[in-house]
């Protein structure tokens, strides 16, 4: 029986190793920090109402796992680095909260806002790209449009294409997601500048 013990021990160790699996890590996008100093007064009910949505993202990004580039035509899907929720909803939430901070005198809502709520300006965003190589840059490309609603109807007052390159502070997915958050902050500032400009 002693001769068989090493073999039995190896089998037991192999079986115990099969039961060990890596736990996934979950990530969320960060919003802008509120400005220092006294908190701005909340927007009144008569304030301009901005509606954000719809927000569209490519199918390759629309998955629980975080995706990055490993070559010109190759995508890496991080099985154990995942979004805490839908990436589409994460982007919508992040931009909505950013606009709320950047436009304190406006009211900002995101889809779905219901039939009883009539927005004064609607912002639609089509994310074409929001990825890059770990340790490199996040490239954010987006088409977006601002539409105004008045008694005479609905009119698109602005259609714009934005491209943003944001460097990473590290080579892991924490730095990757942080760079994506900063890129969305820059996009939010561009949208803010357009929203506060007089309609043409």
- The closest alpha carbon to 182, from 66, 29, 65, belongs to 29
| Number of neighbours of residue 187 by Cβ within 10 angstroms | 23
- Nearest CA-CA partner of 27 in 105, 94, 116, 109: 94
Question: What pLDDT score was predicted for residue 1?
Answer: 47
Q: Look at residue 15 in the predicted model and tell me its pLDDT.
A: 55
Which of 8-22, 53-67, 169-183 is the least confident region?
8-22
Scanning the chain, the segments in alpha helix (DSSP H) are 5-18, 87-102, 173-195
Domains of the chain: 43-195 (3.40.50.10610)
Percent of residues, the chain, with pLDDT higher than 70:
84
pTM to 2 decimal places:
0.85
pLDDT attached to residue 184? 98
Question: Where residue 12 falls among pLDDT bands split at 50, 70, 90?
Answer: low
Instruction: Pinpoint the alpha helices (H) of 19-133.
Output: 87-102
Mean pLDDT, all residues of the chain: 88
């Amino acid at each position: 029986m002693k001769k068989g013990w090493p073999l039995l021990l190896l089998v037991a160790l192999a079986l115990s190793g099969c039961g060990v699996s890596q736990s996934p890590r979950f990530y969320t996008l960060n919003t802008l920090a509120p400005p220092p100093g006294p908190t701005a007064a909340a927007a009144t009910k008569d304030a301009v109402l901005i509606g954000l949505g719809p927000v569209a993202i490519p199918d390759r990004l629309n998955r629980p796992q975080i995706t990055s580039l490993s070559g010109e035509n190759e995508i890496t899907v991080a099985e154990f680095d995942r979004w805490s929720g839908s990436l589409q909803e994460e982007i919508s939430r992040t931009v909505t909260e950013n606009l709320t901070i950047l436009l304190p005198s406006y009211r900002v809502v995101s889809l779905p806002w219901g039939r009883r709520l009539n927005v004064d300006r609607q912002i639609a965003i089509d994310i074409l790209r929001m990825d890059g190589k770990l340790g490199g840059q996040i490239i954010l490309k987006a088409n977006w449009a601002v539409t105004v609603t008045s008694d005479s109807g609905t009119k698109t007052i602005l259609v714009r294409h934005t491209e943003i390159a944001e460097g990473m502070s590290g080579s892991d997915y924490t730095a990757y997601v942080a760079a994506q958050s900063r890129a969305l902050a820059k996009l939010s500032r561009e949208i803010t500048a357009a929203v506060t400009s007089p309609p043409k």
